[in-house]
């Protein structure tokens, strides 16, 4: 997904930096909508349900990133727990 957004010139709206700081211009809004759409259509039903009401690509990305980290942490804890039994 990140590679697709980079190739389309949309990564700066997903992960803005100080250089690309958010501007509420027509171009920025269009890029944000394109990036959000790409994220939406790339998600499965479970992931989409987490971000369906989010209106900014950067917020949707951060939400999915946080959920992935939580899931990975839970999986590691489950692995440790099952190995100790």
**Structural domain count, the chain:** 1
Mean pLDDT of 36-59: 96
Phi, psi of 36 (to 5 degrees): -65, -40
pLDDT at 13: 83
* Contact between residue 36 and residue 57 where contact means Cβ atoms under 8 Å apart: yes
Q: Does pLDDT of 18 surpass 80?
A: no
What are the residues whose beta carbons fall under 8 Å from the beta carbon of 13, sequence distance 6 or more? Answer: 20, 22, 28, 31, 32, 35, 57, 58
Confidence of residue 20 (pLDDT cuts 50, 70, 90): low
Residue 23 pLDDT class (50, 70, 90 cuts): low
| Domain carrying residue 23 | 2-83
**Average pLDDT along the chain:** 88
Question: Would you say the pTM of this structure is higher than 0.75?
Answer: no
């Amino acid at each position: 997904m990140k590679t697709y957004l980079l190739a389309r010139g949309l990564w700066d709206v997903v992960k803005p930096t100080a250089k690309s700081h958010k501007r509420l211009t027509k171009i920025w809004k269009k890029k944000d909508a394109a990036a959000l759409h790409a994220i939406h259509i790339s998600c499965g039903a479970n992931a989409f349900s987490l971000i369906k009401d989010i209106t900014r690509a950067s917020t949707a990305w951060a939400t999915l990133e946080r959920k992935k980290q939580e899931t990975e942490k839970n999986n590691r804890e489950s692995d440790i727990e099952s190995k100790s039994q």
